[in-house]
Every structure is written in C-alpha cells, then in structure tokens.
Structure 1
C-alpha cells in the first residue's frame, strides 16, 4: 500500500496516541553482548533502567529471559493470574530502553519502523521502552502488509494504536445476521468503530451510510487515511467522540461491540478496547434509546468471557434487559469460540466454555409507572 506522510485534512488537530519518550536516569545500566542476563534482571527488579547497545537482538534476548524468570516466579494458570503476570512483565520490561536517532533505531541489525517519522515528525532523537518499540515494529508490519479478515473482501491496514480483531467468531456471527437482515438499510451507527470491520461489513451488505464514532484518535486518523477519497469515504462518516458523538439523528440500526471485561485498573488507550468502566453500558443504553428509530434494532456483540473466568457475575446486557425497561430482547445468537492455538503458551482451558453473543434488542413499548 502507498504510505501517506501527512495526517488527512480536517483531523490534524487530533493528538495521536503513541509511546511516550523516556527520560534517562542517572543510574542507567548498559546491556552489552556479554552482559549476564540474571544480573540485568536483578537490576530491573531494583528499578534500574537498562539501555540496549550493540545488536537489536540483545534486547530480544533479555525480554525472553525476563519472561522465563517471571514464569518461574509467578503462577500463570488462571485468567486472573495471567493478568497479574502481564502487569509484572509490563512494569519490568518497560525499564529496558533503546535509542532512536534520526528516526532510526540506534542498534545493529534493527528493523526499519516507519512509525517513528509518522508519529514523531518534529522529534528525530529520543528514547523509548524496548517493548514499545517491539509493538511499533509489529504494528508497522500489519500496517504495510495488511491483515486478512474472513468477513471482508479486502485487507485491513490498521493504524498504530488501533484495535483490530485477531479472533473472528463474533464477526462471523454478525455477518450471518446481516445476510438475513431484511430491514431498511438507509443508515446505521457503529459505536467504537476501531479499525472499521463492523462498518465495512454493513457497507458490504448494502447499507447506504454508516456513521462511526471512536474515542481513540488513532482509529479516526487511520480510517480517514485508509479510505482516502474513495467511494468508501462517502459511505462511512467518522466522528471523534464518546458513544454517539455528534450524531443526533435517529437510525434503523445501532451496532456496538464493546469491551468484554470490566476494568480493574486505570486504563491505557489501547486497554479501552478491552476493558469497560462502570458507566459505559448505562450511558450507552440511555443514549441508544433516543437514537433508535421506533422499528429499529440495537445490536450488541458480546461474550461470556468475564463470567466464565470469574472476573464478574454481572452481564451488562442481561442486567439492562432486567432492570432498564428501555429495550426488549428479540433474540440472542451464540457461537462457540474456536479452541486456542496449539502455539499459545497460556493455559486457556476456559475457551471450551467461551461463546460470543449477538444480542438483538428492540424498543420496549410497555409503559412503566
């Protein structure tokens, strides 16, 4: 794909999410080819920063040793234990640093990462945590080469910091529902448009206009760049905003694929695609009631993941139907999730009980006292 160097017109004021440049401490240690990894890990656990020098692979080796060290030190079986393990790894690994000079990694045999120039156009020399650079590298490959999604004709080219699906059961469930949908197809709203998959599915199935919102500026910039001035850009209108953003008009279809797990810590930008706060669903259903046409349908794509992993017993859609009195259930479609890959190192035994859900709701016409 062609790689534009500039942010599209009309959204230049958006401040993109990107890794924060790091200040180097006075007691920083250097990681050389002959450095003992055990000593390096002990330094990390004592709060010391470590700068990668020499080959880029030195950083990869230290990260691998750190993972093995933590796997021996921390239990990593249940869902909650895995979350604790990831938090510990995140804290220590982000003390491992690498320099960027003239928008290039200052290490031998390092990958070329175009995000440095795109995300930091006015800063040529800076320092980033090594795992953040790894994430930038992976994101650059996905952006350049594209990601195949079974329900779409063309590849996605996800922008940095934008969530895109790596599991497709919920998308297949939604696509099968769209194939059978016989209602009007004038407009629809996709809440939390992300990389655009659900919106593109609706356009593929004949919707004339889809409005997409997101609180992540990277999602808006990435989709604007991806669509350019093609016909697609005239069918998908975007807004940077919470829930329904500036879209006030009623529509025949509202689609929401919210996060599936309640938050347990302060959220980073990408985490907002994974964890939801306590106000998200009450606010969403309240606003959806006002924006759904009388004969319209409200679709919520969800999962039983939080329940089967014992994160919470509360199911936010079931709770709304029981207590909100705003909507009634037309149907709830479910699809079992495929087993985890044999390549994964995590114990994901709960996957045999996991199912994605498509909740189809309509207005509740009953009068309440």
Structure 2
C-alpha cells in the first residue's frame, strides 16, 4: 500500500506502514505549523491525511489538541456512562482520527523535521531494516519511540530482582500482580520440567527457572516475543535452563507443570499490539484447556493465570470458565487470588473504572478430573 500527495506542484508517493492495519488515507494534504487544531481535527474526521512538514514538537502538540477534541466529542455522545462496546468504538474512532496525522521517514528511518529526535534505533527495533522512505502515523511513531525507551531502561520485576526489556509489540509485564502469583504459588511436589505457554517477555519462565525448575520450555507464536524472551534469558543467565521456542501453544512432550497467562478479554484485537490483551472467542484459552491434559505428566498441574475483568465487563459469565475447565476433562485443585495494583483501578475518571475496581486476578491450579 502507498500514500499519495501533491507537494510543490509535484505528485509524490511513498509506501504506507501501519502496525494496526489501518489503510492509508485516500486524500492527503501537506500541512505545517500554520494549521489550527480545529481545522486539522475537521479534516482528520473526514478521513483526510495530514502529512506534517513543520516542527516535530508542534506536531506533538497538535496531536494532543486533536485528541482533546476527540475525547470531548466522545463524552458528548456517551452521556452518563458507557459499556465496553461503546468504549471500544470510542478507542477505534480515536485511533482513526489521530492516525490521520502522518510523518515521512527517510530511507534510513530518520525523521527530517525541525527539532526531531533521532528515531532510527527505535524504528529499526520495531520495523527492522529500512526498505526506503515510508510514511507512518505520528501516533504510531510515538508508540515506537516509547517502546524503545522501555526496551532501553527495562521494566523492573521485583520477583526476579531484575528488569526485563520488552521490545515493540511484546506485552510488557507492568502489572506485577500476575507475576507475583506465579512467584508465590506452591510448586507441585516434583516439577523438573515446566512449560510456559505464550511466554511473551519470558518473565514467568524466568521466575519458575529461578524457583528451581530443572528445565523450562517457553513458547510463543509471535517472533517478536520469542526474540524478547531469548534476550531475557540471556540477560538473566538462564540460557542453559530455559529453551524458548516459536510455536503455537504447547511444545512437544509433557511437563510436570504447564503455565499459561492468556489474553484476558474475549474479542478481536485491532492491531498486533493488542494480541496480548484480546483473544477472539477465547480461542487461546479454549485450546490451552483442551490440550492441557495431554501435556501433563502423571501428577502434574496446569496453572492458568487469568483476570476476571471480562466478567465485570459482561464479556464472559462467571460460570463460563468453570464450564470450559470441566469440558476439557479438568478439575480445580486450588485457586489463589489477588487484586490489581495498577493506577486505573483507582481512577474514577476511567470509563471502565467499575470493572477495574472489582477485578480479581487468579491462579487456577488445574489437574485431570480423573485423578
């Protein structure tokens, strides 16, 4: 896909890149510091792309001003409250409108705007080697820059006494309560072999390796996650204990303990960045439960780490998870609960505050029903 525009009387074009699959704007105008926020917002709402040629910091200010107008419009149409479907629709509209403010990256991934930072390293980490000039939404580029900062400084994990460094597009373990559940739950009597299914950054695999597992196999279907997990193991000196494999769900064989922290919300992700949050029709959850028994050694356990926020949002009934467990030929041998510590759980301005405040994250200890 390409983006097309006219500039200085010349018709131009460049490849279009969007991590969330947003199509390029059909109509594009070149803008700079002289455009007013109201005018930019009106054009963006109508689907007109705004190719920025002004000052980088002014572009960021314009994006914030457009965002305020999006939020005001959403609040007016929302009324007294909102359900999750309305929340998702608002997020999609926000992404669409803000995605209309576009910048052009040069052939070396540099951003040639006044006062622009050096974004080459961040873009190379997210996109790989540059194929040539490319246009991206400024909103996406800011996410790429932010992810590079997280990758550089790391995310502290108290259970490890160290930091992990998630790359772009890899779910970051900023919510430490689910990590603490795995760090504190009693291990099966014998757990020489552990599978961590859907490992992400590898944080749970690393925690279990540090707890004394003889061998850990961590899997993920995402190549970016596999790269991040391998870097985590190298940084923690766990290369010889943890194998990271790129595969869908289970590795070959059986384990004494199989751990999975699947996406918590049933629903369609709108981008690759949301794959760690949304699980269409609870597909990963269903397949994990359905295949767990066949991958457990006799006397082994499966640990399912899952938030009940989907219940509070009306996306899953309280009984549905128990039914899925039973239908998979499993039973609950124990359960450990914790409550969230993240800031949104105590923010009444958050549109999903009630659900976040009531949320409980649980570690479900599962064993074959026949045992």
| TM-score category (smaller protein) | 0.7 to 0.9
Tell me the residue number matched to 1:3: none
1:330 aligns with 2:329: no
Tell me the residue number matched to 1:192: 198
Contact in 2 for aligned 1:19/1:128 (Cα 8 Å): no
Tell me the residue number matched to 1:168: 176
In structure 2, relative to structure 1, the CA distance for the partners of 1:290 and 1:267 (3 Å cut) is farther
CA distance in 1, matches of 2:21, 2:82: 34
TM score, norm. by length of structure 1: 0.85
Contact in 2 for aligned 1:191/1:255 (Cα 8 Å): yes
Structure 1 SS opposite 2:258: strand
Tell me the residue number matched to 2:96: 91
Tell me the residue number matched to 2:266: 262
In structure 2, relative to structure 1, the CA distance for the partners of 1:253 and 1:26 (3 Å cut) is closer
Tell me the residue number matched to 2:211: 205
Deviates more, 1:287-296 or 1:113-122: 113-122
In the TM superposition, what are the counterparts of 1:1-369 in structure 2 within 5 Å?
A: 19=19, 27-75=27-75, 77-78=81-82, 80=84, 81-101=86-106, 102-113=108-119, 114-118=121-125, 119-177=127-185, 180-181=186-187, 183-228=189-234, 231-244=237-250, 247-263=251-267, 265=268, 267-278=270-281, 279-313=283-317, 316-324=320-328, 326-338=329-341, 340=343, 346-347=350-351, 348-365=353-370
CA distance in 1, matches of 2:40, 2:341: 39
Structure 1 SS opposite 2:156: coil
CA distance in 1, matches of 2:349, 2:306: 25
CA distance in 2, matches of 1:266, 1:203: 31
In structure 2, relative to structure 1, the CA distance for the partners of 1:226 and 1:358 (3 Å cut) is closer
TM score, norm. by length of structure 2: 0.85
Q: Deviations over 1:173-204 (max 9, x none)?
A: 22110xx3252231100110001111111011
Aligned alpha-carbon RMSD (Å) = 2.5
CA distance in 1, matches of 2:306, 2:22: 37
* Total equivalences in the alignment: 344
Q: Structure 2: any 5+ residue segments left out of the alignment? A: 1-16
Contact in 2 for aligned 1:203/1:209 (Cα 8 Å): yes
Contact in 2 for aligned 1:49/1:95 (Cα 8 Å): yes
CA distance in 2, matches of 1:164, 1:26: 34
CA distance in 2, matches of 1:363, 1:110: 57
Shift of residue 23, structure 1, vs aligned partner: 8.7
CA distance in 1, matches of 2:132, 2:164: 29
Greater relative CO, 1 or 2 (CA 8 Å, sep 6+): 1
Contact in 2 for aligned 1:331/1:361 (Cα 8 Å): yes
Contact in 2 for aligned 1:21/1:126 (Cα 8 Å): no
Shift of residue 122, structure 1, vs aligned partner: 4.2
In structure 2, relative to structure 1, the CA distance for the partners of 1:345 and 1:59 (3 Å cut) is farther
Contact in 2 for aligned 1:256/1:300 (Cα 8 Å): yes
Name the structure with the higher strand share: 2
CA distance in 2, matches of 1:315, 1:99: 50
Q: Deviations over 1:316-364 (max 9, x none)?
A: 531223433x111111111122363577952423333111111001111
In structure 2, relative to structure 1, the CA distance for the partners of 1:349 and 1:314 (3 Å cut) is closer
